[in-house]
Amino acid sequence: MVEISKQAERQSKASWEEILVVALLLLALGGARLGGHLLFHSLAELFIIAVLWGVFFLSWNSRRLLDNHYLLLIGISSLFVGAIDAAHTLAYKGMNVIPGAGADHATQLWIAARYVQSGSFLVAPLFLRRRLKPDLALAIYGVVTAALIASIFSGVFPACYVEGSGLTAFKIWSEYAVILALLASAGLLVWQRAQFDRSVLHSLLAAIGLMAAAEVGFTLYDDVYAAANVIGHFLKFVAFCFIYKAIIVTGVVRPYDLLFRNLVRSEEALRRSDERYKTFVANGSEAIFRVEMGKPVPTSLPLNEQVKLLLDHAYVAECNDAYARMHGLNGVDRAVGARLSKVLLGTDPPAAELAESFIRSGYRVAELEFRRKAENGEVMYVAGSLIGIVENGHLLRIWGVQRDVTEAKRATQDRERLIEELRSALAEVKTLSGLLPICSNCKKVRDDKGYWTQVEAYFRRRTHISFSHGICPDCLKTLYPEYYPRTE
């Protein structure tokens, strides 16, 4: 909480410093206005041109590293917008730098620059997820810019300013079209806001909003030195202060928030995925593990050599607590780094046979079962699946999942034993249900093997019947008449 508070305090301090710097620049620009409109206009335009070309150089020199081509398109367009604005500044009324240039030429160049700029802001969001071909874009902008400037100085471009009457309808409607394009580009930015750092997004939206407001001022003047024109340049100046902050400052001071934002987001997503994976493995009820070969095993070697290399060099590189407990190791720390031959010591089948079965199956086993003694001395049954990672003809690692199937195995064994007992009982019942030879004198019976035995012994072996001895009334009367009760 203390660190967050300090960070918020630093950000607040930086914001106030930025506001102070912009205020001082506006005061300086206002002071230049007192020295004459040409000085004011030239300084304002030079600052804007410097920011435009700064954006171009930053984006162009990082074009091979950029993962967001929105900035690359804005940067390339800024080179040509700055060039047209430079021509606009030199052609401005009273500069007398370009022979034959007048107020209409300067206004036409202004509109041409705004066409290129607003159109670029409108198209740029399309390249948030698409790749831009920089050389092709540079060529297209070069051709369009040359065509616009040629049409202006050849008299083909529609008139935008007439001395004595002011702005033409074409110029005014063009400004409205530029305003709509800028507002639409702002809407696209808001729609794709997840692709931008918050501070960069806010600065870009502020810049676009101020540029749209400035264009409103540029529809209201009758004279190029009028107050509406001055207010428009002030608004545009502040707008490019925001562009300077959003692109140039952020690109230099915090490039990972602008130039490589997608890379940072990918790394963050990878980090979260890795945390989820580790949590899943650590808390899994099944034993999850990864075995590294240490020395890659060529799959072209004979079977016995592959088995030897695997048991000699393979070791546990990653596992969870369930795996450590299953193999009698005290915790993950003791399990990681242990040789696979040591972990599988005492298994039935032995480790060599398990390795041979794994290799014979093509380094992929859906169900591999073995048994081993647990810590309490009881036999534990383990089943699992293994997947070997083979690259360039070498076995590099093995991923595996194991589970304790002792209870299921015992249940199966009990079920099989019960079935066998039922089969034996049914066989006995079948035997008892047939003819049973019995001696007419001593009453011994003959079993299925031909031996004569007492009736009691015969039934005792084949059923759960136990005999107790007594004497019936008829035998009692014959053998022991003195004990036979007399009746009247």
Give counts: helices (H), strands (E), the chain. 18, 9
Closest CA to 381 of 337, 412, 358: 412
Six token digits for residue 123: 């198209």
Same domain, 42 and 182: yes
Same domain, 182 and 262: yes
164 lies in which domain range? 36-267
DSSP per-residue letters across 54-121: HHHHHHHHTTTT-S-HHHHHHHHHHHHHHHHHHHHHHTSTTT--STT--HHHHHHHHHHHHHHHHHHH
Same domain, 42 and 158: yes
Same domain, 182 and 104: yes
Domain presence at residue 432: no
pLDDT of residue 228: 80
Same domain, 156 and 219: yes
Q: In this structure, are residues 47 and 240 in contact, taking their beta carbons and an 8 Å threshold? A: yes
Per-residue pLDDT of 99-128, as tens digits, reads: 777 788 888 998 999 999 999 999 988 888
Question: What are the distances in angstroms from CA 231 to CA 105, 190, 225, 274, 304?
Answer: 21, 27, 11, 54, 87
The CATH number of the domain holding residue 291 is 3.30.450.20
Per-residue pLDDT of 469-487, as tens digits, reads: 777 777 777 777 776 666 5
Domain presence at residue 146: yes
Same domain, 381 and 242: no
The CATH number of the domain holding residue 127 is 1.20.1070
Domain presence at residue 274: no
> Does residue 447 surpass a pLDDT of 90?
no
Per-residue pLDDT of 402-412, as tens digits, reads: 888 878 778 87
User: Which among 238, 267, 296 is the end of a domain?
Assistant: 267
> Does residue 332 surpass a pLDDT of 60?
yes
* Max mean pLDDT range (251-255, 263-267, 388-392, 453-457): 388-392
Same domain, 198 and 258: yes
Same domain, 74 and 210: yes
Domain presence at residue 245: yes
pLDDT of residue 262: 55
Domain tally, the chain: 3
Domain presence at residue 228: yes
Question: What are the distances in angstroms from CA 13 to CA 6, 239, 414, 457?
Answer: 10, 21, 77, 104
Question: What share of the chain in percent tops pLDDT 70?
Answer: 82
Domain presence at residue 330: yes
Q: In this structure, are residues 312 and 341 in contact, taking their beta carbons and an 8 Å threshold? A: yes
Specify the pTM.
0.55
Which residue, chain included where needed, has tokens 């692109």?
247
Six token digits for residue 474: 């008829």
Pairing of strands 161-162, 166-167: antiparallel
Closest CA to 437 of 427, 429, 448, 424: 448
